[in-house]
């Protein structure tokens, strides 16, 4: 459309006939991605597809959790594609890329200023990989597909307090695209840089064949990648210490990784909050630690974590929430309730055992103390999984007498 656009658009190096075909394909992929993230799918797998395609999420996550999930396997074709045709994903498939490019085109003439930036994306990838080796993939949340999914999830489902923030990533990226066209895709996008990095050995081998004199000089691992990984490892170690430090902490969904790893593993796609039938998963405000900003946190305002539901754990692309079987649910503890007897109606000899009645796991007993001649609710930590039914049903207002705290 604008033949005077800069060469940094992935679009431009292609002859005219092919360009239309490609544009059609990209629009179709965008439509498909939006469709997958629209509400109304009978199964949750549709939500998992978009953020799981990214090797930038899948590889560091697999390294960090030291395992492979179904979601990781979805990224494998993209990985192979990147080896065979570098940046092919950007050119043909990436829905975020198309939107950023369209944003850039709004500027028309004179676009492309300020695009002189070092390859930030490569550094992001290096830092993330380094962090992943220590179980904390630092920057996976910058993944363009996760950002796209987060925006779609915010628009399409969850409208809880603060949820709009979770979807703010895409507008920000689009703003970058608008101000400095081409900058995001070419220089910042870590998914693009991941593809470059994957393609490096292939290129090196190819070049090595041509120039047999100096094979070792072209060894694919640039020094800055190694340096970046080292720095990433250091940062990850520091952040894990900060995140895991003894603080009250927040309630996390069942199957969540340990507190010191969760904020690194979570890509902030909002899938878990989107599928939760009780609408109790909210983006973390980050008030208790900026590193867990927008990570999933549970709030028991008027609904509890259903005893048979494991949906949030099945839509996590990065292993921040371990996929649970329904039978595992009772043992996947979210927290443990504590009773404040100065609020509890039993402390006033009033007739109440609502927490016991509504506990789905039969974990609450009303125990009589002969010394105080008083009944006290007691929670059996072996049976309780912190589902919050007791807290939700507790009749005291405004503060609840029984409140679930992180384990």
Please say whether the beta carbons of 377 and 344 come within 8 A.
yes
Restricted to residues 233-292, the positions that interact with other proteins (CB under 8 A) are: none
CB of 162 to other proteins, least distance (A): 24
Restricted to residues 1-60, the positions that interact with other proteins (CB under 8 A) are: none
Taking CB under 8 A as the rule, does residue 351 contact other proteins? Answer: yes
Task: Report d(CA 273, CA 275) in Å as an integer.
Answer: 6
Taking CB under 8 A as the rule, does residue 211 contact other proteins? Answer: no
Q: What is the DSSP string of 349-378?
A: T----HHHHH-TT--EEEEEETTTTEEEEE
Residue 2 vs 356, nearer CB to other proteins: 356
CB of 384 to other proteins, least distance (A): 16
Binding mask 286-315 for other proteins (x = CB under 8 A): ----------------x-------------
Phi-psi region of 136 (alpha: psi -120 to 50; beta: other; left: phi over 0): beta
Look at residues 170, 229, 233 and name the one whose alpha carbon lies nearest to residue 197.
229
The only residue of 356, 361, 383, 403 in contact with other proteins, by rule CB under 8 A: 356
Query: Backbone phi, then psi, for 247, in 5-degree steps?
Result: -135, 165
Taking CB under 8 A as the rule, does residue 354 contact other proteins? Answer: yes
Task: Read off the DSSP letter of residue 13.
Answer: T
Task: Report d(CA 291, CA 16) in Å as an integer.
Answer: 46
Taking CB under 8 A as the rule, does residue 353 contact other proteins? Answer: yes
The only residue of 59, 346, 379, 404 in contact with other proteins, by rule CB under 8 A: 346
CB of 163 to other proteins, least distance (A): 23
CB of 375 to other proteins, least distance (A): 4
Strands (E) across 255-303 are located at 281-283, 296-298
Phi-psi region of 276 (alpha: psi -120 to 50; beta: other; left: phi over 0): beta
Please say whether the beta carbons of 290 and 242 come within 8 A.
no
Taking CB under 8 A as the rule, does residue 349 contact other proteins? Answer: yes
Binding segment for other proteins (CB under 8 A), chosen from 126-134, 265-273, 293-301, 353-361, is 353-361
Taking CB under 8 A as the rule, does residue 366 contact other proteins? Answer: yes
CB of 354 to other proteins, least distance (A): 6
Pairing of strands 336-339, 296-298: unpaired
Please say whether the beta carbons of 36 and 141 come within 8 A.
no
The pair of structure tokens assigned to 294 is: 């927008």
Residue 22 vs 356, nearer CB to other proteins: 356
Query: Backbone phi, then psi, for 375, in 5-degree steps?
Result: -95, 140
The only residue of 20, 368, 381, 405 in contact with other proteins, by rule CB under 8 A: 368
CB atoms within 10 A of CB 155: 16
CB of 250 to other proteins, least distance (A): 24
CB of 311 to other proteins, least distance (A): 19
Which residues sit opposite 169 in a β-bridge? none
Residue 77 vs 395, nearer CB to other proteins: 395
Residue 4 vs 372, nearer CB to other proteins: 372
Binding mask 164-193 for other proteins (x = CB under 8 A): ------------------------------
CB atoms within 10 A of CB 160: 18
Please name the residue that has the structure tokens 């991605």. 33
Binding segment for other proteins (CB under 8 A), chosen from 309-317, 328-336, 357-365, 377-385, is 357-365
Please say whether the beta carbons of 319 and 69 come within 8 A.
yes
Give the number of C-alpha atoms closer than 13 A to the C-alpha of residue 172, restricted to the C-beta side.
Answer: 13
Residue 84 vs 341, nearer CB to other proteins: 341
The only residue of 118, 370, 382, 398 in contact with other proteins, by rule CB under 8 A: 370
Residue 4 vs 301, nearer CB to other proteins: 301
The only residue of 198, 256, 312, 375 in contact with other proteins, by rule CB under 8 A: 375
Taking CB under 8 A as the rule, does residue 358 contact other proteins? Answer: yes
Taking CB under 8 A as the rule, does residue 380 contact other proteins? Answer: no
Task: Report d(CA 115, CA 127) in Å as an integer.
Answer: 22
What CA–CA distances, in Å, run from 133 to 127, 365, 401? Answer: 10, 45, 43
- Interface residue list for other proteins (CB under 8 A): 302, 346, 348-351, 353-354, 356-358, 362, 366, 368, 370, 373-375, 392-393, 395
């Amino acid at each position: 459309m604008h033949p005077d656009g800069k060469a940094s658009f992935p679009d431009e190096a292609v002859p005219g006939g092919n360009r239309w075909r490609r544009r059609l394909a990209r629009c179709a992929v965008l439509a498909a991605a939006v469709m997958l993230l629209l509400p109304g799918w009978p199964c949750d797998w549709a939500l998992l597809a978009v953020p799981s395609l990214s090797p930038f999420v899948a590889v560091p996550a697999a390294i960090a959790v030291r395992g492979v999930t179904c979601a990781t396997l979805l990224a494998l074709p993209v990985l192979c594609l990147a080896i065979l045709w570098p940046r092919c994903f950007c050119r043909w498939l990436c829905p975020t890329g198309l939107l950023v490019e369209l944003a850039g085109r709004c500027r028309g003439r004179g676009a492309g200023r300020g695009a002189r930036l070092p390859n930030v994306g490569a550094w992001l990838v290096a830092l993330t990989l380094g962090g992943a080796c220590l179980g904390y993939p630092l920057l996976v949340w910058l993944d363009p597909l996760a950002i796209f999914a987060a925006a779609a999830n915010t628009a399409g489902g969850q409208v809880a307090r603060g949820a709009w923030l979770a979807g703010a990533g895409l507008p920000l990226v689009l703003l970058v695209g608008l101000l400095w066209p081409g900058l995001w895709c070419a220089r910042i996008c870590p998914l693009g840089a991941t593809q470059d990095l994957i393609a490096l050995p292939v290129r090196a081998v190819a070049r090595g064949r041509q120039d047999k004199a100096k094979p070792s000089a072209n060894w694919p691992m640039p020094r800055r990648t190694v340096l970046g990984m080292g720095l990433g490892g250091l940062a990850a170690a520091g952040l894990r210490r900060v995140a895991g430090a003894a603080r009250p902490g927040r309630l996390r969904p069942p199957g969540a990784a340990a507190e010191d790893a969760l904020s690194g593993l979570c890509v902030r796609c909002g899938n878990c909050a989107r599928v939760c039938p009780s609408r109790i998963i909210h983006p973390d405000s980050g008030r208790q630690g900026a590193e867990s900003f927008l990570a999933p946190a549970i709030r028991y305002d008027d609904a509890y974590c259903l005893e048979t539901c494991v949906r949030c754990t099945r839509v996590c692309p990065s292993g921040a929430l371990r996929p649970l079987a329904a039978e595992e649910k009772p043992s996947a503890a979210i927290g443990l309730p504590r009773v404040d007897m100065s609020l509890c109606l039993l402390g006033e000899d009033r007739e109440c055992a609502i927490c016991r009645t509504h506990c789905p796991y039969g974990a609450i007993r009303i125990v009589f103390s002969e010394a105080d001649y008083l009944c006290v609710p007691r929670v059996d930590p072996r049976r309780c999984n912190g589902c919050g039914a007791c807290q939700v049903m507790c009749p005291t207002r405004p503060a609840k007498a029984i409140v679930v705290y992180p384990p």
